[in-house]
Amino acid sequence: MSSSSDLPATPSRISPMSSDAGAAAPRLLAVIRHAASPPHAAMAAEALREAAERAGLDLALDTVEQPVRGRDADAVLLVGDATAEAARHAGRPLIATTIVEAIRRPEPALRAAASLALLPRPAVAAAPAPLAAPAAVEEGGSKTLVAITACPTGIAHTFMAAAALEKAAHQLGYAIKVETQGSVGAKNALTAEEIDAADAVVIAADTGVDRSRFAGKRILLAGTNDALKDGKGLITRALAAEVQGGARAAAGAAGAAQAPGVYKHLMTGVSYMIPLVTAGGLCIALSFAFGIEAFKEPGTLPAALFQIGAQSALALMVPVLAAFIAFSIADRPGLAPGFVGGALAGAVGAGFLGGIAAGFLAGYVARFLRDRLPFPDSLEGLKPVLVIPLLASLVTGLLMIYVLGAPIAAALAWLTEFLRGMGSTNAVILGVLLGAMMAADMGGPVNKAAYAFGVGLLGSETYAPMAAIMAAGMTPPLGIALATVIARSRFSQEERDAGKAAAILGAAFITEGAIPFAAKDPLRVIPSLIAGSAVTGGLVMLFGCTLRAPHGGIFVVGIPGAVGNPLGYLLAILAGTLVTAAAVAVLKRSAPAAVTA
């Protein structure tokens, strides 16, 4: 009996051994899906393969790792979650069974499928062929695409990129459905039928996205900024991309199209960490509203709020950061060692810097073990549930305890003391730098690097940089909105209407509200935005403002204890807004009519 290692990459066919030499054995296709436990799906595939071999049946196995396209089957056996793909096999006899039945009693399932295949069927018009990937997508004609957009915070770029792709597809005459993976989860989720019917897949994301659903499809991986700048180009490149043969191949080829890199892995971790920091910081602020030491009285509401914020939400901040950095690198095998490494980083005092180091270490160790560790095929199912978590956690944990933890903890302690002990001049310089970074690319890598720096410092109880970062991030859209009012003649009616929306986005700390104006006239607008944000960042640090929440915009000012020196904070935002508006108004005076019309 051959093992699963003998299976070729193409569909495995078992030579018919029927005693009736004059009758051709029915050609069967078993489609096996079980997202909850891939090892069980592999066991079901092996059981069906061996049963088909014993019975002399011609069977092809369609699995996530080895999908089958274009199989002309007489009957289709849908196993487990594969029932969701029934529409793909319309026109063929279908029969379903469970994963458990396929493992324990594969022979009855195959006999039922074979019997169904031998039943006479009425003649029908030629049915459309299964969705086999063509050698190349034909030029012209209607095409269908699916897409996913995602960004670290899941608020602005996610939906702006989706809108850009939808607009580009409409202009090209193509149909597209975009799933947005925002801060509240996936919206407009893609179904298996929609994915199967698509000619190509566009993933415009700045964080890690699960691509296993798109095995056998043309996949293009890009960032949200790429979708905003050239949506048509992304769609065209996606339609010309090579077809991926399986989940691992899809991931590999997509990564080759645009390597995720350190930035993308880091932003994935930050995006999952932000809700914990927000909830924890605001709970602590509410506790302090009852008195700065009120939480020390056991059994009181302030004590409960402090326990929720400091001892629960913020305690999970570093482990979650590390776990999802590792997840972005190695997918699910990276989660367990990432959580372990992050927890150890917190235990040894390495804080968010240790969490970042542990996340990358755990991710790359887990990916190495997943891709390079030789293992018998019969025991392959143990790798994701036993071998990788154990070995990767041991390597990550031992290195964090004996090698990396102490130096990183010392570096974090030095950074914390340096920031706390800065004189007013150095503090203002830091605020100016962070403010300028927030406006430099409005949600791009520079902006997110400054933001991640501020969020990480919250875990070490350093709150001033976060105040400068959020205030400076509000200034660009607020300044643009004011400029459309005080310099109306330099903006079209469409821009003046967009300015009203920018004011709301700015108040909510969505810097991306200024992007449409910067994209239309970058040489005049971007320097104005940087100037205003730099002024705001410097003034926030000069006034000694602090902020315990990493998001929420102007609205967190009303929460007791969330903002230190709220009056100075508001004055700094107002000053930066005025500087931005004045600079835009002055520079726009020399703008050609084509820019402002």
Per-residue confidence (pLDDT) for residue 517, from 0 to 100: 86
Q: CA-CA distance, 487 to 584, in Å (whole number)? A: 9
Q: What local confidence, expressed as pLDDT, does residue 20 receive?
A: 43
Cβ proximity of 541 and 508 under 8 Å:
no
DSSP class of 462:
-
Residue 13: the pLDDT is 39
Between residues 483 and 555, which one has the greater pLDDT? Answer: 483
What is the pTM (predicted TM-score) of this model?
A: 0.60
Q: How far apart are CA 579 and CA 539, in angstroms?
A: 13
Q: Report the pLDDT value the prediction gives residue 541, as an integer from 0 to 100.
A: 94
What is residue 355's three-state secondary structure?
A: helix
| Most confident stretch, 97-101, 241-245, 260-264, 410-414 | 410-414
Q: What is the mean pLDDT of residues 437-455?
A: 84
pLDDT in tens, 515-540: 888 878 888 899 999 999 999 999 99
C-alpha Rg value of the chain to the nearest Å: 28
Does the structure show a pLDDT above 50 at 250? no
Locus of tokens 């305690």: 315
CATH class of 4-118: alpha beta
List of long-range contacts for 93-99, beta carbons under 8 Å, 24+ apart: 93/117, 93/119, 93/121, 99/32, 99/34, 99/37, 99/40, 99/41, 99/44
Q: When comparing pLDDT for 217 and 398, which is higher?
A: 398
Band the pLDDT of 405: cuts 50, 70, 90. Answer: very high
Nearest alpha carbon to residue 338 among 314, 320, 316, 350: 320
C-alpha 43/C-alpha 50 separation (Å) is 11
Measured CA to CA, the distance from residue 101 to residue 497 in angstroms comes to 61
- The residue among 572 and 459 whose pLDDT is bigger is 572
Kind of pairing, strands 58-62 and 27-33?
parallel
CATH 3.40.50.2300 residue spans of the chain:
4-118, 144-257
Q: What is the pLDDT of residue 245?
A: 53
The stretch 374-396 carries a mean pLDDT of 85
Please, are residues 68 and 216 in contact by the beta-carbon 8 Å criterion?
no
Q: Say if residue 98 is exposed, middle or buried (CB neighbours under 10 Å; 0-12, 13-18, 19+).
A: middle
Q: What is the largest CA-CA distance in the chain?
A: 94
Q: Which residue has the higher pLDDT, 34 or 406?
A: 406
- So what's the pLDDT on residue 590? 58
Q: What is the pLDDT of residues 303-325, one digit of tens each?
A: 999 999 888 998 999 999 999 99
- What's residue 154's pLDDT? 60
d(CA 234, CA 232): 5
Catalytic entry in 41, 64, 73, 151: 151
Q: Which of 35-39, 384-388, 463-467, 559-563 has the highest mean pLDDT?
A: 463-467
Interval 2-29 mean pLDDT: 48
* Residues 246-258, mean pLDDT to the nearest whole number: 42
Q: Are 542 and 422 in contact (CB under 8 A)?
A: no
N residues, the chain: 597
Q: Is 283 a catalytic residue?
A: no
- Provide the percentage of residues in the chain whose pLDDT is more than 70: 85
Residue with the bigger pLDDT between 286 and 597: it is: 286
Please give the pLDDT value at position 263: 80
| In 373-404, alpha helices (H) | 388-399
Most confident of 181-185, 223-227, 434-438: 434-438
Q: Are 584 and 520 in contact (CB under 8 A)?
A: no
User: Distance (Å, rounded) from C-alpha 254 to C-alpha 234?
Assistant: 13
pLDDT tens digits for 195-237? 988 999 999 887 777 777 888 888 988 888 888 888 888 998 8
CATH superfamily of 144-257: Response regulator (3.40.50.2300)
The encoded tokens of residue 76 equal: 């289709």
Q: What is the average pLDDT score of the chain?
A: 81
Residue 211 tokens read as 């691509």
